[in-house]
Structure 1
Amino acid sequence: MNLATLSATASLLATSALADVETRAFSFENEGATLSGTLYLPEGHDGTALPTVVVTGAWTTVEEQMPATYAQQMVQRGFAAVSFDFRGWGKSGDLPQNVRFVESPTAKTSDIEAAFGMIGDLAEVDARNIFGLGICASAGYMVDAVSNTPSVKAIGLVAPWLQNEEIVNAVYGGAEGVQELIEMGRAGGIIPAAGPAGTEGVLMPFDGYYSDPALGAIPAYDNQWNNAGWEGWLTYHPADNAERLNQPLAIVHSESAAIPQGVSTFLNGFLGDATLQMLEGVTQFDFYHNDEDVTRAADAMAAHFRANMTTGDDL
């Protein structure tokens, strides 16, 4: 590994405007499900094909949360961007209630691959320059999807949650605790995903991003967790499978954020070119919304994608 370390057919449905950013809703199909997404463009865009970044977020989230934040950041740096709701989540919820809100690495990876395959047909997308940006839990899904999609030029990960069996056991109460969660998951049931600190019967009982209406506790957030997802999640070990990735990689993380040891494990097995930037004192939630930290992460991602872009001189 060369590591540099720093201190399809889419139907365009609607157009709206953010500050300097124009958004267009679209839908696409994957494995029998209809997925809803958003194409982000510079405001007043003239239709020229732009290098495009597919952005995916943390577990249980919808595209209006941190994926939208980073999609807008990419547009402000000269890219188009795409985000979407995974099947069974948010606006892509056309599944029976008992199989919605399942955190399935397999299904979510497939949905990302389908998004990559679809966006190359959009006139606003430069199909020569498609990139992937995964945040938190979807970092592993993004790695898997990019590994299976050679046309994707490069990949970036922000605050990646990259786990293996050792990390899973450390986080979820040892091998016994993991097995208890798997057994509970086999019994099924849907619970709230998040609630304030001290809330009982929720997946994430703590204050911060998911409990603050000004941050992640937005109306679009499903705030649901299907226990049926436990087995697939707990037996998913992306930190151990870095060798499957061939494209250039950039990671921005912090020792103060979630499981930084997963990054070390992943990079130890990665054979390609990688850039790692570890920021000091930045929490996991800071990477989702704090202006300074989001800006630094987005700058690193944009620089990485530009460095791996196909230009007219490369044709």
Structure 2
Amino acid sequence: MEKLRHSPENLTCHSERTGFYSEGVWCAATLHRPADNSQQARPAILMVHGWGGIQNALTVPFYEEFTRVGYVVMTFDYRGWGESAGLPRQTISVRQRMRDADAALAFLKSHPSIDPRQNRGLGVFARRWKCGRACRRSPRTGRGHRPGSHAGW
């Protein structure tokens, strides 16, 4: 059987487990950085997955490619999902998810590897409704937020 292109053995990025609080609940997150070990501040992408997703499902091909071209990418689990805290488990609330996405975006913007003054700014990779709301609701830094959408994700 052929090896997967994006298997853990051949990733070209560095991943760091981290997390943030959303309304007092711990949300698990992972920062993925380019492999070149440069200390320069970089543009960033927050990957916000779909309804029933967790950060480790279906994201490797995306963050791997984004880091190869120089972005820092953050994935996370919504509260009550995956490795995040919170009860009840595996329930979906649009308002709660928007607040979690807002908290994730604030955490990512405050991270030392991201320069919030960079005009290239911060992208949000998600379904259209999520990235549009997160970008509109979050305070802008320069010309920062570049919403993007991937319909199949």
TM-score band, normalised by the shorter chain?
Answer: 0.7 to 0.9
CA RMSD of aligned residues (A): 1.9
State the identity %. 19
Cα distance, 1:143 vs structure 2: 1.6
Q: 2:68 aligns with which of 50, 69, 76?
A: 76
Of the two, which has the highest radius of gyration? 1
TM-score calculated relative to the size of structure 1 = 0.42
TM-score calculated relative to the size of structure 2 = 0.83
Q: What letter is aligned with 1:111?
A: D
Distance 1:144 1:45, change over 3 A: same
Cα distance, 1:142 vs structure 2: 2.1
1:168-199, CA deviations, whole angstroms, 9 ceiling, x for partnerless residues?
A: xxxxxxxxxxxxxxxxxxxxxxxxxxxxxxxx
Q: Which residue of 1 aligns with 2:86?
A: 95
8 A contact 1:17–1:23 mirrored in 2: no
Distance in 2 (alpha carbons) for counterparts of 1:48 and 1:31: 31
Q: Which residue of 1 aligns with 2:21?
A: 29
Give the alignment of 1:151-230 within 5 angstroms. 151=140, 152-159=144-151
Q: 1:117 aligns with which of 81, 86, 106?
A: 106
Q: Give aligned pairs, total.
A: 140
Distance in 1 (alpha carbons) for counterparts of 2:39 and 2:149: 28
Distance in 1 (alpha carbons) for counterparts of 2:35 and 2:101: 25
8 A contact 2:126–2:150 mirrored in 1: yes
Distance in 2 (alpha carbons) for counterparts of 1:131 and 1:56: 11
Q: Which runs of 4+ in 1 moved over 6 A?
A: none
The reply to whether residue 145 of structure 1 matches residue 141 of structure 2 is no
Gaps of 5+ in 2: 1-7
Distance in 2 (alpha carbons) for counterparts of 1:65 and 1:134: 14
Q: Which residue of 1 aligns with 2:5?
A: none
Cα distance, 1:126 vs structure 2: 2.4
Cα distance, 1:44 vs structure 2: 4.0
Gaps of 5+ in 1: 1-15, 160-283, 289-315
Cα distance, 1:18 vs structure 2: 5.3
1:51-98, CA deviations, whole angstroms, 9 ceiling, x for partnerless residues?
A: 000011121110011233322221112211111000100001x223xx
